[in-house]
Amino acid sequence: MVEMLIAGEREAARSGEEIEVLNPATEEVLESVPSAGSEDVDRAVQAAAQAFEEWRQVDAEERAAKLRSFAELVKANRKELGETLTQEQGKPTMEAGGEVQHFVHGLEYYADLATKVRGVYQPLPSTLGRSYGMVVRRPVGVCVGIVPSNFPLTLTGTKLGPALAAGNTIVLKPSEETPLTMLRLAELLIEAEIPAGVVNVVTGGAETGEALIKHPLVRRIAFTGSTATGRRIMELAAPEMKRVTLELGGSDPVIVCPDADLKGAVKTALIARFWNAGQGCLAGKRLLVFDEVYDDFMSALLDGVERYEPGVGWEKPEKPKIRIGPLTTERQRSLVIDQLQDALDGGGELLYGGDPPDTPEKGFFLTPTVVQNPAADSRVATEEVFGPVLPVWRVSSLDEAIERANDTAYGLGSSVWTHDVRIINRVAQELDAGMTWVNQNHFGYDELPFGGVKQSGYGKEHGIEAMDYYFEDKSVVVGGL
């Protein structure tokens, strides 16, 4: 069993209960991890609260140095971390290596920001003589970071980096499906000499998460996951007015205009939908293509889809094939198949895929799938599809494209392919999304705020803006001088 990290020590659950971790490509048991109960959660939060009193006083330069030291250790162990990620999550080795690199970049980015936090000085009018005001930025306290299964490293970094840079302590909980990569990070945190209790890692399911959120010493919660779970977290956090950021589901539209670079648009549409087997909040989940280029675009798109070959992530296929890994759980694969079947029952036309592949015989694989013109009220149009299914619609005008793009409860990402500045300016204003890419792939940059509108969440991760959620701004007025 791989143990948790509490107060700088490796710990099992007090109950002795464990959770098995499966390899989604082979269905074999990789390891087991503790199933933390409320007593384990309390130990972790208490450790974070005690460590906070010293960590908040640590000079920003020293905090930055600790983050950089940790980042260097991650780089030195990137091969092992990537292999662990592929084994427990299923993504191909190349994708796993990219995720390790992204995690390191985020740590380095927030290490740099740690030393650039500024307060405010403001002279003030007063009948009692000269006065001035200050805004002091104080760390919030004990934070909780709850991380999903699709990007276990990247989405740990978006919480760990700004929390520590701002002087907070944190308790992290990985998905019960993919805890091993984070637990390996815990070992590197000890090696990097991050003080005991500053970072704690507990493992478990929904009950573990609820115990963390409701703990009275927790002041800040950062969650990435489904919209349904996000609503539940808001309910649990509300009685004590805890700060919450929620990065939730998406159903990102991709608009391809008549003047688009079709080669680039096709390449990007494939990556945006089938990267990580379609398990991405920022995946390009709905494709809207103008009539004028529809036939040419679709011909090239289907040629590209045929190159994807389901298989284990640690083996490279023969060129020109491209590896696509499994979904992380059988439950998720079954859900995606049900969503696809609903689209077909409602009149959508299957252009490619639609079934689990014949090989590999084991694993939670699904053939990359393209479905044409499903009904507007079909599940692939109205729900987040967390798997390799791409619905495509023809559109005849920009008005229609924007209307269809916005016809969703979600509002995370969006993109448009065009060289027309008028269209670019219009979609930037009118698409209901937290992010819009122009002639680019859907990718979250550490340097820019990341977050959605509508039911895609609340608050921002990434960028300088993320730091705001890890500080409390306190006004101080000084007079009588």
The CATH number assigned to the domain holding 182 equals: 3.40.605.10
Percent of the chain's residues with pLDDT above 70: 100
Query: Tokens for 281?
Result: 């909040």
Q: What is the pLDDT of residue 129?
A: 82
Quickly list DSSP for 360-425. SSSSS----EEEES--TTSHHHHS---SSEEEEEEESSHHHHHHHHH-SS--S--EEE---HHHHH
pLDDT band at 114 (very low <50, low <70, confident <90, very high): very high
Both 230 and 298 in a single domain?
no
First to last CA, the chain: 63
Examine residue 63 and state whether it is found in any structural domain, yes or no. Answer: yes
Q: What is the pLDDT of residue 109?
A: 98
Examine residue 45 and state whether it is found in any structural domain, yes or no. Answer: yes
Examine residue 348 and state whether it is found in any structural domain, yes or no. Answer: yes
Both 296 and 241 in a single domain?
no
pLDDT in tens, 432-478: 999 999 999 888 999 999 999 999 999 999 999 999 999 999 999 99
Domain carrying residue 285: 252-445
Both 326 and 472 in a single domain?
no
Q: What is the pLDDT of residue 368?
A: 98
Both 44 and 151 in a single domain?
yes
Examine residue 452 and state whether it is found in any structural domain, yes or no. Answer: no
Give yes or no for a contact between 116 and 188, defined as CB atoms under 8 angstroms apart: no
Average pLDDT over residues 383-406: 98
3-state secondary structure of 48: helix
Q: What is the pLDDT of residue 126?
A: 82
**Angstrom distance (rounded) from CA 77 to CA 60:** 26
Examine residue 350 and state whether it is found in any structural domain, yes or no. Answer: yes
Residue 417 in this model has a pLDDT that exceeds 80: yes
Average pLDDT over residues 11-29: 98
Both 233 and 260 in a single domain?
no
Both 224 and 334 in a single domain?
no
Across the strands, what pairs with 312? none
pLDDT in tens, 179-227: 999 999 999 999 999 999 999 999 999 999 999 999 999 999 999 999 9
Q: What is the pLDDT of residue 127?
A: 75
Q: Is the dihedral of CA 156, 158, 160, 161 positive or negative?
A: positive
How many Cα atoms sit within 13 Å of 299 on the Cβ side?
4
Q: How many domains does the chain have?
A: 2
| Residue 313 one-letter amino acid | G
Give yes or no for a contact between 37 and 203, defined as CB atoms under 8 angstroms apart: no
Catalytic positions, written as ranges:
247, 281
3-state secondary structure of 194: coil
Residue 279 burial by CB count (10 A; 0-12/13-18/19+): exposed, middle or buried? buried
For residue 284, what is the domain's CATH number? Answer: 3.40.309.10
Give yes or no for a contact between 395 and 244, defined as CB atoms under 8 angstroms apart: no
Both 327 and 296 in a single domain?
yes
Residue 118 in this model has a pLDDT that exceeds 90: no
Both 184 and 238 in a single domain?
yes
